[in-house]
Amino acid sequence: MANGSRQAAWEFFGAELKRLREDAGITQGALGASVFVSGGYIGQFEQAIRKPQLDVAQRIDETLQTGGFFERMCRKLINSSRYADYFAAAAELEALATRISEFAPTVVPGLLQTADYAQAVVLASNPLASDEYVQETVKARIDRAQILKDAARPVYWAILHETALRIPAGGPAAMARQLDHIAALVRERKTLIQVLPYAAGAYPQMGKMLTLMEFEDAPPTAYTEAVYSGNLLDDPAVVKRTEAAYDLLRAAALSPEASLALIESAAEDFRRCVSTT
């Protein structure tokens, strides 16, 4: 399903939610309380600003007694996404964000990946995958990164642990190109990158990736990921804790200037590996 068609489908979801809610004589606040979100979130669902997670859609069906309509529609939209089902909702929000802050402990974030690097990461998890699957997955990831090139691009700030710079995904040549790509984005002032060096030792949320997203007309959201699972966190208290953790990571990381120097040095190290083989 094309992006325009998906957005139109979410707008239909929101319009039907509003119609059925009003037919039932339930306010946004009352519906939100019954499905464990705020009334403001219900309003954002109805305007297709935000997309509800599957469990919220299921609770809406129970409250409005709609026979599973919203669950079925939500499943269809998730399944039609180019992304894994646990990441689909986060990808939708990413495209709407005005600011994205990421921490990557071991893998270069998707928005910064080159095609060669992305292919190596995909194949590492799917060694028997078809060429078609690999190509489509890589293309979806590269297409996501276009938001960093748009005129209305979000402010993008990433903290990479030094580990992410040193694992030669795709081999030394591919890794050198990956690091050159990150350095180019920094020099073009399209991203702000800091590196958390090995020397920093223990750090907040050890080993856990984190993405924070801010929006023009919606509360901030955090996204974390584990093995074949992802969690969108929008409880204000929880988001505040993740923001505090990110502040500590930022404080422990190298300055942007020192980080760029380390990235370029690591790229040169990989180039030397290529020249000596």
> Domain limits of the chain?
3-79, 85-275
Secondary-structure breakdown of the chain: helix, strand, coil percentages, each rounded to the nearest 5: 60, 10, 30
List, as one string, the DSSP characters of 191-213: -EEEEE-GGG-S-TTTT--EEEE
- Would you say 106 and 126 are in contact if contact means Cβ atoms under 8 Å apart? no
Average per-residue pLDDT in the chain? 90
Structure tokens at 175: 């890794």
Whether the model clears a pTM of 0.85, i.e. scores above it, the answer is no
Q: What pLDDT sits at residue 96?
A: 84
Q: How far apart are CA 210 and CA 230, in angstroms?
A: 10
Angstrom distance (rounded) from CA 84 to CA 140: 11
pLDDT of residue 79: 61
Query: CA-CA distance, 96 to 261, in Å (whole number)?
Result: 32
Spans of the chain, pLDDT less than 70 = 1-5, 78-81, 277
- What pLDDT does residue 207 have? 87
* Nearest Cα residue to 220 out of 236, 205, 209, 231: 236
Report the C-alpha gap between 47 and 60 in whole angstroms.
Answer: 16
Q: Which residues pair with 267 in a beta bridge?
A: none
DSSP assignment string, 72-125: HHHHHHHHTSSS-HHHHHHHHHHTT-SEEEEEESSS--GGG--HHHHHHHHHHH
Residue 68: left if φ>0, alpha if ψ -120 to 50, beta else—which one? left
The per-residue pLDDT for 99 is: 96
What pLDDT shows up at residue 4?
55
Report, at the CATH architecture level, how domain 85-275 is classified.
Answer: 2-Layer Sandwich (3.30)
The angle that helices 54-64 and 28-35 make with each other, rounded to 10 degrees, is 120
Is the Cβ–Cβ distance between 220 and 214 less than 8 Å?
A: yes
Edge-to-edge order in the sheet of strand 210-214:
192-196, 155-161, 99-104, 210-214, 221-226, 229-233
CATH 1.10.287.1120 fits 3-79, yes or no: no
pLDDT on residue 262: 98
The pLDDT of residue 1: 52
pLDDT tens across 106-157, in order? 999 999 999 999 999 999 988 998 898 899 889 989 988 988 988 778 999 9
Query: What is the reported pLDDT for 87?
Result: 82
The angle formed by the CA atoms of residues 248, 253 and 254, to the nearest 5 degrees, is 150
